Structure 1
Amino acid sequence: MDPTPAALAQLAVAAARAGGACAKQSFGDPLSVRRKTDGSEYTRADLDAQAEVIRCILASRPHDAILAEEQQPDERAELGSARCCWIIDPIDGTRNYIRGVPLYACSVAACMDGVPVAGAIFAPQFDVLYSAALGGPLCVNGAPNVPQERSGRAKTPLVAIPSAATPRFRPWVEGLIDRAVLRSLGSTALHLAYVASGAYDAALCSDSKLWDIAAGIVLVEAAGGVARGAGNGPLVPPRLSAYANEDTPCLVARSAELMGALGLQPG
């Protein structure tokens, strides 16, 4: 029998907490920084946290597939055969983490037949965990989230933008300047978690990878928001075995109406 989204969400929560706790143990330590072929930074802490997430998942579901940021391509052999695949970013916000900035998160999502159905994003330094299963509700530290109403100037939309806008998306960022208050935290996972919780109203993610957004998509949609690819294709490729670390730009907002008002229309 297939696992329910709720059961997968429970495991995502446990795995995100395990990975986040592992990362927190080394936070602030002097770490040797290495670079991947794309120039992005990583450290031993990324590898240790990822190993802890994978250990937690496979202890319960040993036959599931894993797609994780720090994996080598030859470690993805099961992607073509397993119905359930876990998409993992052990430390989203590595540049912050390396520099002692506490804005980072461990992100874990479960997909069934290529569809994200459960997700958890854990911010270890704040001990806050956002989680959801397909259909909701969004939970924060295990309790259903209740967004607070705003008044006065707080009604101005608060929108998360990428740390560096690529040429394709620069006009979108410039178009937001007169429509919203902009923020960039250096962690796509946190941007999406904050949209889901109602702290932020929308987010533009221009250079994200699949592991940056998979869990956040579940959270945003569980909270009643919308998540759309910035192009014409699906946010999550139906065949994860074909994923080759391409950018997966996306737009998320608390509502489709707000997305349109902000000019964040796919295309």
Structure 2
Amino acid sequence: MSISCPNFASQILRSHASLIARKNIYAPQDVGIFPSPSHTNLRPTLSNYPFVFPSSCNCNQTFSSTTEDYYRNSALEFDDMDLGKYSKELEVAVKAVQMASLLCQRVQESLLSRSNDHVQSKDDNSPVTVADWSVQATVSWVLTEAFGSKNVSIVAEEDVQALSKADTVGLLEAVVKTVNESLAEAPCFGLSAPSSGLSASEVLEAISRCNSTGGPSGRFWVLDPVDGTLGFVRGDQYAIALALVENGEPVLGVLGCPNYPMEKEWLSYSNGYRRMLSKLASPALGFPGKGCIIYARKGSGKAWMQPLHQKDKKFIWPNSAREIRVSTIDNPALATFCEPVEKANSSHSFTAGVAHSVGLRNQPLRVYSMVKYAAIARGDAEVFMKFARAGYKEKIWDHAAGVVIIQEAGGVVTDAGGHPLCFSRGMYLENLDRGIIACSGASLHEKILGAVDASWNSSSL
């Protein structure tokens, strides 16, 4: 069937909604339309599933009983989360990241649909967009409104000075407009909205509140407004990352992944293809190929994933959340490993050598941003390795949220010496031993640590 037919896309999703309603059961809004294959078949073909898109359109076709059985059996019962300590902080953080994700979706669609005048270049030559500053202002405003300005300290990536220059007036206007559009949606999430639109000075003030430098004591939030801005500008993967650090240790982590689908089967399609199907599907029914929000609280032993919220709908916490766990694969020959796309701050050659020596045979999954942490936490991959080139310093906002999530999902994250990552020494991961290794389990982790030790002296890093 041609994908130009919106009726069939809507029919797929409508069938799912109808079955859920008839069974009167609680299920995620974005349950995938395909049954899950084995982990080793991460990128399946459509022919593996009970229904496919035929070569010609027949909008009157019906679904097989196999498909209906899948829907009945795949609905997930939701067990209320034991949030315990930090319950309000986690709820507000998830809602703020949901709002930020919707904001980023709108900006990215604008970037992809026309030539854009609001892409700047930072000192390190990575792209900065309207989304970076808009997310920072939005999250800052939401956290301050919820907990009070005296109780909120934020370490964030963007510097307000770059947005305050005389030659960035047009960019600032675009940021103010985007922030106000986002904050107007706050009531949908059960949050307060400004009594009137924020002015340019108020937006700049919200961004400038993110001026904490972190440290070993007290409480502060860590925000990366758009992690993976190269992926963002290119229509690829990116993440909004928010963590709460207390006395030098991350205690909450939230990752918004607007282009990372709830069901891993949708990873077999390009981002552009998923965007096309999303536009064809009925807005009232949602689309299972859309993004997700992943989060965890330290000490809970659980990590959760919920679908990206649909605009104009009421957000009801916890928004069809379901528990996620790391993969159980511990055989290196079957494992998949992630590494950064950019070669500027990571040695692909050393990573490839370690992977070969430990027996990792699958092609690496090169993904922009902290989506790599999300992939391991929910079992789509087993290993993430990053070995920075000489002189590069890892920032805490690139790792804090992901570390909490993987650990609570059952995985392990350390530096390449096996030491916990240190978030208590300011904005950088100081005293980092060679690199960062995240794994789905201790067995793989130990093997990789050993391979790094054996190879390091002969490397050029």
User: What range describes the TM-score normalised by the shorter chain of this pair?
Assistant: 0.7 to 0.9
Q: Which moved more, 1:167-176 or 1:43-52?
A: 167-176
User: 1:132 is matched with which residue?
Assistant: 296
The separation in 2 between residues aligned to 1:154 and 1:260, in whole angstroms, is 12
Q: 2:153 aligns with which of 62, 65, 68?
A: 65
- Structure 1 residue 76, shift from structure 2 partner: 2.0
Residues 139 and 230 of structure 1: CA distance in aligned 2, closer, same or farther (over 3 Å): same
Whether the aligned pair in 2 keeps the contact of 1:65 and 1:82 (CA below 8 Å) is no
User: 1:145 is matched with which residue?
Assistant: 324
Residues 227 and 199 of structure 1: CA distance in aligned 2, closer, same or farther (over 3 Å): same
1:162 equivalent in alignment to 2:340: yes
- Structure 1 residue 42, shift from structure 2 partner: 0.8
Q: Which moved more, 1:79-88 or 1:189-198?
A: 79-88
User: 2:376 is matched with which residue?
Assistant: 195
The separation in 2 between residues aligned to 1:10 and 1:255, in whole angstroms, is 28
Per-residue CA deviation, residues 2-55 of structure 1 (Å, 9 max, x unaligned), is: x92343322221121121111111113243321222222211121112211211
The count of corresponding residues between Structure 1 and Structure 2 is 260
- Structure 1 residue 172, shift from structure 2 partner: 3.1
User: 1:100 is matched with which residue?
Assistant: 235
Residues 227 and 5 of structure 1: CA distance in aligned 2, closer, same or farther (over 3 Å): farther
User: 1:120 is matched with which residue?
Assistant: 254
Whether the aligned pair in 1 keeps the contact of 2:396 and 2:429 (CA below 8 Å) is yes
Residues 119 and 166 of structure 1: CA distance in aligned 2, closer, same or farther (over 3 Å): closer
Whether the aligned pair in 2 keeps the contact of 1:209 and 1:247 (CA below 8 Å) is no
The separation in 2 between residues aligned to 1:93 and 1:247, in whole angstroms, is 24
The separation in 2 between residues aligned to 1:220 and 1:53, in whole angstroms, is 23
Q: 1:176 aligns with which of 355, 360, 373?
A: 355
User: 2:421 is matched with which residue?
Assistant: 235
**Identity value in percent:** 24
Q: Which moved more, 1:79-88 or 1:60-69?
A: 79-88
Residues 216 and 180 of structure 1: CA distance in aligned 2, closer, same or farther (over 3 Å): farther
- Aligned to 1:259, what secondary structure does the other structure show? helix
Q: 2:226 aligns with which of 91, 100, 109?
A: 91
The separation in 1 between residues aligned to 2:328 and 2:439, in whole angstroms, is 16
Aligned CA RMSD, in angstroms, stands at 3.2
Normalising by the residue count of structure 1, what TM-score does the alignment of the two structures yield? 0.84
Ranges of 4+ aligned residues in structure 1 off by more than 6 Å: 245-248
Whether the aligned pair in 2 keeps the contact of 1:161 and 1:173 (CA below 8 Å) is no
Q: 2:440 aligns with which of 254, 257, 261?
A: 254
- Aligned to 1:28, what secondary structure does the other structure show? helix
Whether the aligned pair in 2 keeps the contact of 1:122 and 1:130 (CA below 8 Å) is yes
- Structure 1 residue 205, shift from structure 2 partner: 2.9
More strand by share: 1
- Structure 1 residue 185, shift from structure 2 partner: 1.2
- Structure 1 residue 108, shift from structure 2 partner: 0.7
The separation in 2 between residues aligned to 1:216 and 1:38, in whole angstroms, is 23
Per-residue CA deviation, residues 138-169 of structure 1 (Å, 9 max, x unaligned), is: 1011221256767xx99710000122275767
Whether the aligned pair in 1 keeps the contact of 2:346 and 2:387 (CA below 8 Å) is no
Unpaired runs of 5+ residues, structure 2, are: 1-83, 162-207, 260-289, 307-320, 389-393, 457-461
Residues 232 and 140 of structure 1: CA distance in aligned 2, closer, same or farther (over 3 Å): closer
Whether the aligned pair in 2 keeps the contact of 1:225 and 1:254 (CA below 8 Å) is yes
More helix by share: 2
Larger radius of gyration: 2
Letter in 2 for 1:197: R
- Aligned to 1:17, what secondary structure does the other structure show? helix
Q: Which moved more, 1:26-35 or 1:129-138?
A: 26-35
- Aligned to 2:242, what secondary structure does the other structure show? strand
The separation in 1 between residues aligned to 2:333 and 2:129, in whole angstroms, is 40
Q: 1:22 aligns with which of 77, 95, 103?
A: 103
User: 2:136 is matched with which residue?
Assistant: 50
Whether the aligned pair in 1 keeps the contact of 2:406 and 2:412 (CA below 8 Å) is yes
The separation in 2 between residues aligned to 1:244 and 1:238, in whole angstroms, is 9
Residues 227 and 81 of structure 1: CA distance in aligned 2, closer, same or farther (over 3 Å): closer
Whether the aligned pair in 2 keeps the contact of 1:15 and 1:54 (CA below 8 Å) is no
Whether the aligned pair in 2 keeps the contact of 1:64 and 1:82 (CA below 8 Å) is no
Letter in 2 for 1:176: A
User: 1:186 is matched with which residue?
Assistant: 368
Per-residue CA deviation, residues 171-206 of structure 1 (Å, 9 max, x unaligned), is: 23322145242111112x100011111111010133
Whether the aligned pair in 1 keeps the contact of 2:326 and 2:440 (CA below 8 Å) is no
Whether the aligned pair in 2 keeps the contact of 1:110 and 1:119 (CA below 8 Å) is yes
1:206 equivalent in alignment to 2:387: yes
Whether the aligned pair in 1 keeps the contact of 2:239 and 2:371 (CA below 8 Å) is yes
Letter in 2 for 1:258: L
